[in-house]
Amino acid sequence: MCLLRMYAHVPTQKLKDAKVRYRHAFDSLKDLRGSLEPLAESVGHAKQELIQEFDKWLELSGPDALQPQVSTLVCGGECARTCASHMCVTGALL
């Protein structure tokens, strides 16, 4: 179907206004995408740095560094729970 026939009933000024609004929204989107690119690059660098620091820590800490540490925590002074790596036996986060 021809676009002219589809929109023949719509006044020309409304179409022009819609085109202007669309163009403005599209330009805004392009600007936002341009500002996201440096942020995504920064996140990538931070991720790489975090991975490198973790690898250094793991190398210095030895193979047992990732094993859970078991300790007893007191929850609000009311109860004592045995936890492993901050996870209660019940599965709730402390």
The residue ranking higher by pLDDT, 65 or 52, is 52
Query: Model confidence over 27-61: pLDDT tens digits?
Result: 999 999 999 999 999 999 999 999 999 999 988 88
User: Are the CB atoms for 90 and 78 separated by under 8 Å?
Assistant: no
Instruction: Please give the sequence-ordered ranges of beta strands (E in DSSP) within the chain, or none if there are none.
Output: 70-75, 79-84, 87-88
Beta bridge partners of 62: none
- Measured CA to CA, the distance from residue 56 to residue 69 in angstroms comes to 20
Which neighbouring-strand residues pair with 71? Answer: 83
Q: How far apart are the first and last CA of the chain?
A: 63
